[in-house]
Amino acid sequence: MLIREEPDGFLAIGQASHAWISGQLARAWGNERFGPVEPWEEVCLGAEQHDVGWAEWDLAPEIDPETGRPHTFISLPLPEKLELWSRAARKVISQSRYAALLVSMHGTAIFGRFGPDDPAGKRLVDAFIDEQRELQARLAAGFDPEQVRRNQKLVFAWDYISLALCHDWAPAKVKDVPLADGEPVTLELSEEGELDPWPFRDELVELRADARRIGTGSFEDWEAVSLEFTLRPRG
């Protein structure tokens, strides 16, 4: 769950809805400098499904007692969060082994980079990563490891761009984005939706997703909202 503040309440953006934006970014991605997305369908599916572990939870989320609002992907206690992520990749295996591999690698990349500092939390995260590494070894058989690593970084970049848009984090920087060849670059997202350098085929990228507007009442009292974002090159 993502929470976006509003004057008279907040928007509840489901993880699957935010991931849908990641999938739209994947399908728009690629030019001479940034190269194509390959294998196309599998990577786009992995981007779109990278938060599939949260889909059912978001329908009836736990309430954070400190805020009275649903827990977010940040505030949810670590054991529950790891349980959701532990099941994520397995939900995708029946669709695509390659996409499931990217979902699992995305989870380990997140917890490897943003894991807890306390010893108990580290033990939980280490156990999760070991479990996922074992699954990844089975899923990765026969795939090009360099290509898979490149695509995991792309999913990470699309995820962050989507989060920045949904949370209104701009200006924001998206680091370690792979190019067609050479060193990775950092993308800069402005408050006006300008992205530099420009990684897409077309000169304008339109994105959309659904959210629920929650007023002062209970979480069950919501209004459907359409979110729309436009990305364009700088200048």
CA 55 vs. chain centroid, Å, equals: 13
**115 in a structural domain:** no
- State the total domains in the chain: 1
**48 in a structural domain:** yes
| Residues 160, 166, 167, 172, Cα dihedral to 10° | 40
Residue type, 173: K
User: What are the strands of the beta sheet with 185-189, ordered from one edge?
Assistant: 2-6, 9-13, 205-214, 222-233, 194-196, 185-189, 172-177
pLDDT on residue 8:
80
**103 in a structural domain:** no
Stated pTM of the model:
0.96
Which pair of tokens denotes residue 175? Answer: 């680091």
pLDDT on residue 53:
96
Q: Which domain holds residue 204?
A: 2-74+145-233
**82 in a structural domain:** no
Q: Per DSSP, what are the bridge partners of residue 9?
A: 6
| Number of residues assigned to the chain | 235
pLDDT on residue 217:
58
Sign of the torsion angle spanned by Cα atoms 225, 4, 219, 8: negative
**105 in a structural domain:** no
Q: Which residues of the chain have pLDDT under 70?
A: 216-220
**32 in a structural domain:** yes
**106 in a structural domain:** no
pLDDT on residue 216:
63
pLDDT on residue 69:
86
